[in-house]
Amino acid sequence: MPPPVLSVRGLRVEFPTRRGVLTALSDVSFDIAPGEVLGVVGESGAGKSMTGAAIIGLLEPPGRIAGGEIRLQGERIDTLPYDRMRRIRGKRIGAIFQDPLTTLNPLYTVGRQLIETMQTHLSLSDREARQRAIGWLEMVGIPAAAQRVDSYPHEFSGGMRQRVVIALALCAEPILVVADEPTTALDVSIQAQIIALLKRLAREKGTAMMLVTHDMGVIAETADRVAVMYAGRIAEIGPVRAVVKAPKHPYSAGLMASIPPLDRKVAHLAGIEGAMPRLSAIPPGCAFNPRCPHVFDRCRRERPELIETGTTRAACWLYDPASERQAPELLRHG
């Protein structure tokens, strides 16, 4: 197996607040292999965006990485000084944000934004950069790119703007792209096109991708592996087939059973009562225990780590042979 492009180990993110330190992420670990797409799912507030922000080194202060490590192609990046990390952003890690209406600077033409990004990271003459900018606009499917390169963002539709954002994220040819809900803000009719584009470009360029989304359809179609997050931790991670078709963690099972109509954020889970706890009120033991239909004693005492289940790894005591209770048929075979 090739060494991973991205390797996150025991990542812990804290927010010092007036009423004590909130732990937004804890013990988050995963790898992304070259060219692989890792889907990240979970209810609102699970920590998906926070994970992405930590990887690109842009956590909003006072949020900070309090533990663990992040490696890009083996190089530790979470401890780099700002300016060294800046040179990695855009060049080796591209980012795609949620709302294309607000992610482009309204006062600069799209061409200028592409050119400045490329010239920051690659040594290109003005002419070369402009040629490439036009090339990128063509590549992301903007018609009449040679003319549109001098247009301002407001002259594009939402879908077209997200194409521009994708071009901006990819234009310095990063090896990893962090895409945080890249289609949530778009018209339903356009979402599939944007995802198809992203998938095609990632395949062509061999770019690895962390794709945060609420859309299980997108996950099933695009991701190679899936991480399910709950209350700042990874609840389950594994190959997309296994996680979607035969989830092992009771939370994943609830999530998959409640696949929401297209892009709607998952607010309530089918068959699972209650809501995800606030960061300040995460229960001891397994964070999911107040809502879990399979909860037993040990869940309230000890916090489970990721445990091999055969197909995936799940943070659930049902899969620890030492537990007094084992996974029911339903979960074991999906």
Partner 1 sequence: MAAFILSRILQAIPVMLVVALISFAMFAYVGDPVAIMLGQDFTEAQRLQLVHDLGLDQPFFVQFATFVGHALQGEFGLSYRLSRPVAELIAERAPATLELAFCAALVALLVGVPMGVYTGLYRNSWLSRAFLTFSLIGVSLPTFLIGILLILIFSVWLGWLPSFGRGEVVRIGWWSTGLLTLSGLKALVLPSITLGMFQLTLIMRLVRAEMLEVLRTDYIKFARARGLSNRAINFGHALKNTLVPVITIAGLQLGGIIAFAIVTETVFQWPGMGLLFIQSVGAADIPVMAAYLLLIALVFVIINLVVDLLYYLVDPRLRIGRGAAGGH
Which of 272, 286, 306, 331 touches ligand SF4 (CB under 6 A)? 286
Q: Stretches 162-170, 234-242, 303-311, 323-331: which one binds partner 1 (CB under 8 A)?
A: 162-170
Of the CA atoms within 13 Å of residue 117, those in its CB half-sphere come to 31
Query: CA–CA separation, 279 vs 212, rounded Å?
Result: 20
Provide the angle, in degrees to the nearest 10, between the axes of the packed helices 158-170 and 110-121: 10
CB of 222: closest distance to ligand ATP in angstroms?
Answer: 17
Binds partner 1 by CB under 8 A, chosen from 37, 95, 208, 231? 95
47 binds, among partner 1, Mg ion, ligand ATP, none (CB under 5 to 8 A by kind): ligand ATP
Q: Which does 49 bind (CB under 5 to 8 A by kind): partner 1, ligand SF4, Mg ion, none?
A: Mg ion
User: Counting contacts by CB under 8 A, is residue 140 touching partner 1?
Assistant: no
Of 6, 50, 70, 176, which lies in the binding site for ligand ATP, with binding defined by CB under 6 A? 50
Judged by beta carbon, residue 90 or residue 254, the one nearer partner 1 is 90
Peptide bond into 62 cis (omega under 30): yes
Given partner 1, Mg ion, ligand ATP, none, residue 58, with its beta carbon under 5 to 8 Å by kind, binds partner 1
The strand ranges marked E within 120-224 are: 176-180, 208-212
Cβ contacts of residue 170 below 8 Å, gap of 6+? 94, 136, 177, 201, 205, 207
Q: From the CB of 238, what's the least distance to ligand SF4, in Å?
A: 15
Q: Is 145 in the site for ligand SF4 (CB under 6 A)?
A: no
91 binds partner 1 (CB under 8 A): yes
DSSP per-residue codes, 120-133: HHS---HHHHHHHH
Contact residue for ligand ATP among 3, 16, 21, 44 (CB under 6 A): 44
Sheet (strand 208-212) strand order:
93-96, 176-180, 208-212, 37-41, 225-230, 233-239, 313-314, 307-308
- Contact residues toward ligand SF4 (CB under 6 A) are 249-250, 286, 288-289, 292, 294-295, 299, 304, 316-318
- Contact residues toward ligand ATP (CB under 6 A) are 15, 22, 24, 42, 44-50, 60, 63, 279
